[in-house]
Amino acid sequence: MKRPLLLSLALTAAAVATTGLAASTITIATVNNPDMVTMQGLTPEFNKKYPDITVKWVVLPENELRQKITLDVASGAGSFDVATVGAYEVPIWAKNGWLDPLTPMFAKNAEIARSYNVNDIIPGVRTALTVNGNLYAVPFYAESSMTFYNKDLFKAAGLTMPQNPTWQQVQGFAAKIHKPASGVYGICLRGLPGWGENMAFFTTMVNTFGGRWFDNNWQAQLNTPAWKSAMTFYVDTLKKYGPPGATSNGFTENLTLMSQGKCGMWVDATVAAGFLSDPGSSKIVKSVGFANAPVGTTPRGNAWYWSWNLAIPKSTKQEDAAFKFITWATSPEYIALVAKTKGTWASVPPGTRTSTYNNANYKKAAGAFSSLVLSSITKADVTKATKDPVPYTGIQYVAIPEFQALGTQVGQYLAGALSGQATIDQTLKLAQDAANKTAKEGGYQK
């Protein structure tokens, strides 16, 4: 009788185990950027390795994603097992206790830790995701900002793009290339309101025009000559030489315009270099050129630093499955899989691993921009982004929890100026008042 009983118990245990494995479902929230859409498309490859984990996706535009994830994670609702979070949120959310620390999970999963190799992550990128010695997210891609230009349009206009352009040069180039009747616009820039959209770009412009959000006493500095100069330049340039309806254009919309040959120049995220070099999605593969982000009156803060990362909210009940997914999607194995799928190493998620930049295939495919991208990411210093001293870190944002709302509010004011609903002076006054209100209510002003 013993053997049948043992067999029965074993079968029962196996059935329970099988049921448990089959019930392992994770929900992933991510932004609708091309790299993340590729990640979603490669879900079957993840399931080849982990057939016991079912993956569900919530893919949203950047602004909407931020609101939804922040609300869910802050309330502990537990709707998401994996969240796509930016470099701005990770340290704030870690200190709030909203994210699971990953360092203990790597310690618990020796085999994954060995193949993943945390030390391969570019040191500055890893540091930005580490709080009190614990890693709280893993980078999906990291970026700075740079200038993209259409070499065919430049050649036709008799222009040459320098490696380190100034904003005055860029505006002059835009004037000569702008041919709206032919569907060609001199320059494309972010106009869509949002702290991570138009304000990410515009804050780098403010920095390099000599401005800052706050002085060392947290007094707002948005009604200063530097802000007025930057805002006047931005509005004039886009109104005269940009595409119509610029307030609807964020990263994704401008990427489409640039890749279709409709923009003479575009200043935006370095991650776009791979997309513009991908013959599957770009018509300017042979004519796209690359240069550093333009400089105004100072090189400080002219190019941003950002990373999109995968993290595990504290509220998840699928911690192990979530950990398997985030380590798979940010691994060297995944990067090689994207290269194989896309047919080119130029399209892999950039900016995260030293091994990518040492890879001969990547050097061959991305040689036109890889060193410029790595240099831009390495040089971007979140502690030295402005000409004058400031009490905060961050290049294209102010690293305080309240900035998400403040940046979006000022972004809406900026879009109002761009669309002609308000003057520059009216916009600056509204922005100044909003920044001072935030600093007072947040307890920063003494």
pLDDT of residue 67: 87
Average pLDDT, the chain: 93
pLDDT digits (tens, 9 = 90+) for 150-160: 999 999 999 99
Q: Report residue 84 as tokens.
A: 């796509």
pLDDT reading at 20 higher than 80? no
Do the bridges between strand 263-269 and strand 24-31 make them parallel or antiparallel, or are there none, so unpaired? unpaired
Tell me what the mean pLDDT of segment 394-413 comes to: 95
pLDDT class of 416 with cuts at 50, 70, 90: very high
Rounded CA separation 21/51 (Å): 9
Percent of the chain clearing pLDDT 70 (strictly above): 95
Cβ 262 vs Cβ 243: under 8 Å? yes
pLDDT digits (tens, 9 = 90+) for 21-54: 457 999 999 999 889 999 999 999 999 999 999 9
pLDDT class of 9 with cuts at 50, 70, 90: very low
pLDDT reading at 5 higher than 60? no
Helix (H) or strand (E) holding 188: strand 185-188
pLDDT of residue 62: 82
Tell me what the mean pLDDT of segment 104-114 comes to: 97
pLDDT digits (tens, 9 = 90+) for 239-272: 999 999 999 999 999 999 999 999 999 999 998 9
Rounded CA separation 155/158 (Å): 5
pLDDT reading at 273 higher than 80? yes
pLDDT reading at 18 higher than 70? no
pTM of the model: 0.82
pLDDT class of 218 with cuts at 50, 70, 90: very high
pLDDT class of 446 with cuts at 50, 70, 90: confident
pLDDT class of 6 with cuts at 50, 70, 90: very low
pLDDT digits (tens, 9 = 90+) for 153-184: 999 999 999 999 999 999 999 999 999 999 99
φ, ψ of residue 13 to 5 degrees: the values are: -60, -40
Rounded CA separation 128/94 (Å): 12
pLDDT of residue 297: 98
pLDDT reading at 281 higher than 90? no
Q: What is the three-state SS of 70-93?
A: HHHHHHCCCCCCEEEEECCHHHHH
Superfamily of domain 24-142+306-369: Periplasmic binding protein-like II (3.40.190.10)
- The set of residues, in sequence order, having a beta carbon less than 8 Å from that of 272 and lying 6+ positions away, is 148, 251, 255, 258, 266
pLDDT reading at 15 higher than 60? no
pLDDT of residue 4: 43
Q: Report residue 335 as tokens.
A: 């990067």
Do the bridges between strand 185-188 and strand 263-269 make them parallel or antiparallel, or are there none, so unpaired? parallel
Amino acid at 167: W
pLDDT of residue 19: 42
pLDDT reading at 389 higher than 50? yes
Cβ 205 vs Cβ 283: under 8 Å? no
pLDDT class of 378 with cuts at 50, 70, 90: confident
DSSP sequence for 94-114: HHTT-B--SHHHHHH-HHHHH
Domain with CATH 3.40.190.10 in the chain: 24-142+306-369, 145-304+373-442
Q: Identify the burial level of 124 via C-beta atoms within 10 angstroms of its C-beta, where 0-12 means exposed, 13-18 middle and 19 or more buried.
A: middle
pLDDT reading at 289 higher than 60? yes
pLDDT digits (tens, 9 = 90+) for 55-102: 999 999 887 888 899 999 989 999 999 999 999 999 999 999 999 999
pLDDT digits (tens, 9 = 90+) for 119-148: 999 988 998 899 999 999 999 999 999 999
pLDDT reading at 320 higher than 80? yes
Specify the CATH number of the domain 145-304+373-442.
3.40.190.10
pLDDT of residue 46: 98
Half-sphere exposure of 125 (CA within 13 A, CB side): 28
pLDDT of residue 351: 93
**307 bridge partner residues:** 142
